[in-house]
């Protein structure tokens, strides 16, 4: 039995490509380039901010929207808010609410909130004061929420929670359940 000479010949290029492709599985490299000097300088300037914790404060402006588009009963609420965000982890802020529902008419109010970010999940506690124009009554409630951020900068998020006060639940379009979609601007 005779084998073809081409099959028996050693193909150096093919072998080199095979070895190189196998080596990439276990080998890693890093190129620092010219940007490495700039990165080292910025880390030195960032160290200055750790001395004074107030330097890590940043202003956060956003709006939350809540809607219930059902044919027999619909509502829409918009909640602009402003907060101070410390170290991209803790947030304290205030906001206002204006809502319109088919059942309760116009509602306006305000709220204060605190938020703790854990990776892309956050926990929020707020105290909401709401004036329901159809009942000519002020209602208030602490609300506890859990949410998910689309990215670390919190450009978009969604949150769900529970209102604690039964009087507030009576005039809320969702009862005790609270959900919101938020956008940073």
pTM, 2 dp:
0.66
Residue 126 reports pLDDT greater than 90: yes
DSSP codes, 16-56? HHHHHHHHHHH------TTHHHHHHHHHHHHHHHHH-GGGG
Res 81: pLDDT:
95
Tokens coding 103: 């059942």
**How many CB atoms are closer than 10 A to CB 73?**
11
For residue 14, the surrounding DSSP H or E stretch is helix 12-26
Tokens coding 124: 């929020």
Measured distance CA(82)–CA(111) in Å, rounded: 11
End-to-end CA distance of the chain: 77
Measured distance CA(110)–CA(104) in Å, rounded: 17
Measured distance CA(160)–CA(30) in Å, rounded: 43
Residue 185's pLDDT band (cuts 50, 70, 90): confident
Res 154: pLDDT:
85
Q: Mean pLDDT, to the nearest integer, of 137-141?
A: 93
Measured distance CA(15)–CA(11) in Å, rounded: 6
Residue 34's pLDDT band (cuts 50, 70, 90): low
Residue 142 reports pLDDT greater than 60: yes
Q: What's the maximum distance between 2 C-alpha atoms anywhere in the chain?
A: 102
Residue 161 reports pLDDT greater than 90: yes
22/98: higher pLDDT: 98
Q: Delimit the domains of the chain by residue range.
A: 10-52, 55-184
Categorise residue 63: left if φ over 0, alpha if ψ from -120 to 50, beta otherwise: beta
Residue 25 reports pLDDT greater than 50: no
CATH architecture of 55-184: Beta Barrel (2.40)
Res 45: pLDDT:
47
Q: What is the pLDDT of residues 84-113, one digit of tens each?
A: 988 878 999 999 999 998 888 899 999 999
Measured distance CA(149)–CA(154) in Å, rounded: 6
Nearest partner of 163 among 128, 121, 115, judged by Cα: 128
Which of 71-80, 117-126, 142-151 is predicted least confidently? 71-80
């Amino acid at each position: 039995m005779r084998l073809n000479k081409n099959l028996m010949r050693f193909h150096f290029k093919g072998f080199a490509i095979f070895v190189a492709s196998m080596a990439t599985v276990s080998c890693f490299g890093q190129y620092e380039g010219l940007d490495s000097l700039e990165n080292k300088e910025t880390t030195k300037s960032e160290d200055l901010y750790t001395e004074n914790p107030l330097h890590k404060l940043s202003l956060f402006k956003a709006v939350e929207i809540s809607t219930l588009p059902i044919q027999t009963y619909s509502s829409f609420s918009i909640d602009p808010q402003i907060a101070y965000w410390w170290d991209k982890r803790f947030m304290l802020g205030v906001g206002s609410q204006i809502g319109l529902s088919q059942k309760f008419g116009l509602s306006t109010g305000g709220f204060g909130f605190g938020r703790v970010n854990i990776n892309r999940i956050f926990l929020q506690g707020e105290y909401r004061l709401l004036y329901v124009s159809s009942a000519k009554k002020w209602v208030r409630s602490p609300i506890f929420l859990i949410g998910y951020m689309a990215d670390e900068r919190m450009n978009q998020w969604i949150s769900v929670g529970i209102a604690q006060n039964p009087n507030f639940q009576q005039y809320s379009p969702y009862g005790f359940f609270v959900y919101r979609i938020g956008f940073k601007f």
